[in-house]
Chains A and B, each alone.
Chain A
Amino acid sequence: MSPQNTTAGEGGGDYKKLDTSLTRVFYGEEATNKSLEVFSNIKDKFDACGDPISPSVCMGFEPLKRAYLDLKRRGIKIRFITEITSFNLHYCKELLNIVTELRHLDGIMGNFGICDGNEYLAVARIKEDQAVPQLIYCNVREVIDQQQYIFESFWNRAISAELKITEIEEGIILGTTEVLQDAQITKEAFVDMIKSAEKEVLLLCPTANAFLREQRMGIIDRLIQAATTRATGVNVRIIAPTSSILDSTIDQIKNMKCNNFNIQRIDYTEFVGTAVTTVTILVVDRKSSLVIEKIDDSKENFVEAIGLATFSTSNPTVASYVTIFESLWNQVKVYEQLKINDKMRKDFINVAAHELRTPIVPILGLSEILYSRILKDSTHSMDRDEMKLNANRYLEMLDTVIRNANRLGRLTEDILDVTKIESQALRLKKERFDLDDIIVNTIQEFKVQVKDMNSGSRRREIIYESLGSDNKDRSVFIDADKSRISQVLWNLVSNAIKFTEEGGKINIKLDLLNHQVKFAEGAAEIISKGIERDSDRIFVVTVEDNGPGIDPEVFSKLFKKFVSKSYHGTGLGLFISKSIVEAHGGKIWARNNINGSGGAAFSFTIPVSSNSTNSIQDYQVQTSTRATAGTRITNEGNSL
């Protein structure tokens, strides 16, 4: 190949002028060599304009890249215009570091450059990363001036490369949104998206029919498969409307008890008054969404039932659908919880009403009877025996009235406590006191009170084993609400008394443990932890009896409200006790004695006061001596 020479002017001129003002086309290697030669002669500035492929040639073709780097080294001012796209982005970024200024212009075709305003280079077509196949060279002043004007007008219309690069980079993250008009394509996209799911699928079905159509398409089976068999376990959540026609299907799915596959039912109309959505929303891996309009819900076939659909990988769009789905999902949960709470509240009112009204029957009835009897007695003359007989009858009635009034009073207090607990208004008046004193006081109180209540018949024995009771200086300090802790003790001891017959034994034990209490299946397990801090140490108070033990029927709901197998309890005591203990940072649990002696044992923990004066060592010594030295508080009279 040889260069073709052309004269710059039609009419010709002198040779020298012809020789220096020329336009030539170079091919192959010569094209490259010529361009490198021109580059090496640039003194001041280089203006270049190229199509979207040009950056790859400038940066991907090594000799040309070196030439550009050389220009930069020599401090040549390089202005470069190109169309920056997501495909040439990395070359443009490279170029940005070399040229003085890079600008973007849409739709550039062809490539040219002007060196120092004196030489013009142009290439029509180029290939990515390859040397230019041919080069047009021209140094004709008029041509150069004209091209310089073209360059300047392009330059002025072009926008900053940084701006365009940012736009593209965000665009890549934003993704795209497209409208799918062909229902068949939508169907394929639906299936493909579910096939591609790696982590999560969210599906919202607007109608029961939509759910059934998708089931017929095999979507539901595919989702079950994705949730159960794929290695990662795709987390599938479906929101479907409450409709009786879906009941059996959904029950069937729920019975599979697959953790990764959850369906929630939603009564759209109950929620927002009208149907919340008429579109099916599918979101896969929080990366892509497909929203399908339904146009004829009566159609069984998916393709016939649907209208337009939008498929999006655009982050804001996908994120919005995720938000819609999550809000509805949470709303269903909240709504279910509300229904449960409402039922619990109604149950509480019913039971509370029953418990409150029951003692009023004898209080009111017997008072009325007593009133009329005494009125009648006052108008009749009676002999001594009759008077005595009547007096005994009246006293029995009054006993019943008082007993029921007391019951009503206790119940009122308990209900008020429950209300406080539930409205989180239970305030603890914490003070530092000796737990030992409280236990001893409570036992003393029982001796007085229970004797009053059950005169003569039901003898009990209460044994208290404290920490190292032979040590007179011992102190078992806790920071707690004194009256509340004593209420817990009172509840536990009165339960024990209630469930033991004559000759019953109630053991109260106080332990200090350097352990944490862990719960398993309603029973507690003490896990050894070793002593590190004061906060690791806890007192454990256990109230044990030799009664019939806890009924298996009530065991699991023991600490809930109104659970009682006794007809003399409010059924609130253990619930309140649990709340009090937990408010103090402790735990409470129950177990049936398994060592053959029968009976039930209730234990609760309470943290040791953090600034207790006793050293850890002291406690250890006391704990070890406890077994041999128990304080024995027994009832000396006939009854307790």
Chain B
Amino acid sequence: MNDINRGTNQKNPTKKSKNVDSILEKQKLDELHRTSLEKQDYKTILIVDDEPDITYTLKLALENNNERYKVHTYNNPITLLAEFKPNYYDLLLVDINMPFMNGFELCKKILELDLNVKICFMSTGEVNLYALRDVYPKIGMGCFVKKPIKVKNLIKMVEAELD
């Protein structure tokens, strides 16, 4: 998986401004250029949860004042599977209790498509992580999002997982 290529070629096509005469526009272009360079380092995170208000909140929490994360969200695991792009995401935050297909089943299918993706499960209940690790060796030990979670803690957890 090549982060730089992915970042530039797939997710962030270079934008061009037609008005280059004014200083303001130039400044903006500079700014854009600068951020686009920085964005080569950003990480792409996928959040899957059947509650739209939760995906909305977590996306905002991760993207808020933080240029390093680009967050995609899905509320239906079936739709996600149909549209899933292998080798595209750096981290998956997957809710365990979902209708149609639970988080475990979903990840089993995703791991068939993308062996390298990191996964953090999310749940409102208690989950035995050690038992989970036997089934999903890719799961980070410290990475389990117990909902509700403070924004600060969520960011810390995601940072730790991506480092």
Which residues does A use to contact B, with CB under 8 Å?
Answer: 350, 353-354, 357-366, 368-369, 372-373, 376, 397, 400, 403-404, 565, 567
Q: Which residues of A contact B53 (CB under 8 A)?
A: 359, 361-362, 400, 403-404
Question: Are B61 and A357 interface neighbours, CB within 8 A?
Answer: no
Q: Which of B49-65 contact A (CB under 8 A)?
A: 50-51, 53-54, 56-58, 60-61, 64-65
Task: State which residues 64-79 of B face A: CB under 8 Å.
Answer: 64-65
B125: Cβ under 8 A from any A Cβ: yes
B151 lies within 8 A of A358 (CB): no
CB distance from B101 to the nearest CB of A (A): 15
B56 and A372 contact, CB distance less than 8 A: no
Q: Is the interface of B mostly helix, strand, loop or mixed?
A: loop
Contact A365:B57 (CB < 8 A) given known A350-B125, A372-B65:
yes
Q: Do A353 and B60 touch across chains, with their CB atoms under 8 A apart?
A: no
For residue B155, give the distance in angstroms from its CB to the closest CB of chain A: 11
Residue of A nearest to B56 (CB): A400
Bound Cα distance from A358 to B60, whole angstroms: 16
Contacts A358-B147, A369-B60, A369-B64 given; indicate if A567 touches B50 (C-beta within 8 A).
Answer: yes
Structural contact, B61 and A365, CB atoms closer than 8 A: yes
CB distance from A562 to the nearest CB of B (A): 12
Please give me the 5 A-B residue pairs with the lowest Cβ-Cβ distance, nearest first.
Answer: A357-B124, A365-B57, A360-B148, A362-B53, A354-B124
The 0/1 profile, CB within 8 Å of A marked 1, for residues 88-107 of chain B is 00000000010100000000
**Assembly CA distance A102 to B120 (angstroms):** 98
In the assembled complex, the Cα of A373 lies from the Cα of B124 at a distance in Å of 27
Task: Establish whether residues B150 and A362, one from each chain, have CB atoms under 8 Å apart when the complex forms.
Answer: no
* Neighbouring A residues of B54 by C-beta, 8 Å: 358, 361-362
Give B58's nearest chain A residue, CB to CB: A365
Contacts of B61 on A, CB cut-off 8 Å? 365, 368-369
Closest approach, in angstroms, between the C-beta of A347 and any C-beta of chain B?
11
Q: Which listed residue, A353, A359, A360, A369, touches B151 by the CB 8 Å rule?
A: A369
Given contacts A354-B97, A404-B53, contact A373 B148 (CB under 8 A): no
Q: Which residues of chain A are within 8 angstroms of B58 by Cβ–Cβ distance?
A: 361, 365
Q: Does B149 count as interface, using CB distance less than 8 angstroms?
A: yes
Q: A residues within 8 A CB of B60?
A: 365-366, 369, 397
| Cβ of B142 to closest chain A Cβ, rounded Å | 20
Report the bound CA distance from A567 to B76 in whole Å.
Answer: 12
Q: Mark B113-136, 1 if CB is under 8 A from A, else 0.
A: 000000000001100000000000
**Contacts A364-B148, A365-B151; is A372 near B57 (CB within 8 Å)?**
no
B96 → chain A closest CB, angstroms? 10
Interface bracket on B: 20 to 34
Q: Tell me how far the C-beta of B55 lies from the nearest C-beta in chain A, rounded to whole angstroms.
A: 10
A365 touches B97 (CB 8 A): no
A364 near B150 (CB under 8 angstroms)? yes
Q: Which of B64, B124, B152, B154 contacts A358 (CB 8 A)?
A: B124
Across the two chains, which residue of chain B brings its CB closest to A404? Answer: B53
A358 to B122, CA, bound (A): 11
Docked CA distance A565–B100 (Å): 11
8 A Cβ contacts from B11-62 to A: 50-51, 53-54, 56-58, 60-61
B57 touches A353 (CB 8 A): no
A354-B124, A365-B151 known; 9 other A-B pairs, CB under 8 Å? A353-B125, A361-B51, A361-B53, A362-B54, A364-B148, A366-B57, A368-B151, A369-B151, A376-B65
Task: Tell which of B51, B125, B148 has the most Cβ of chain A within 10 Å.
Answer: B148
When distances are taken between beta carbons in the complex, the residues of chain B under 8 Å from A400 are 53, 56-57
Given the interface pairs A372-B64, A372-B65, A376-B65, the reply to whether A365 lies near B148 with Cβ below 8 Å is yes
Residues of B within 8 A of A350 (CB): 125
Cβ contact within 8 Å between B125 and A361: no
B81, chain A: closest CB distance, angstroms = 19
- Proximity bits, B133-163, A CB within 8 Å = 1, else 0: 0000000000000011111101000000000
Most buried by A among B53, B61, B150, B152: B53
**A353, A362, A373, A397 — which one has the most chain B CB atoms within 10 A of its CB?**
A362
Contacts of B50 in A (CB 8 A): 567
Known: A350-B125, A369-B60. A361 touches B151 (CB 8 A): no
With a cutoff of 8 Å between Cβ atoms, the chain A residues found around residue B147 in the complex are: 357-358, 360-361
Structural contact, B51 and A358, CB atoms closer than 8 A: yes
* Cα distance, A363 to B147, chains bound together (Å): 12
**CB pair A362 B64 closer than 8 Å:** no
How far apart are the CA atoms of A404 and B151 in the complex, in Å?
Answer: 17
Instruction: Give A359's nearest chain B residue, CB to CB.
Output: B53
Q: Whole-angstrom distance between the alpha carbons of A376 and B54 in the complex?
A: 23
Chain B residues positioned under 8 Å from A360 (CB to CB): 147-148
User: Cα distance A376–B64 when bound, in Å?
Assistant: 11
| Distance (whole angstroms) from the CB of B77 to the closest CB of chain A | 13
Q: Which residues of B contact A567 (CB under 8 A)?
A: 50-51, 99
Contact of B124 among A353, A403, A565 (CB under 8 A): A353
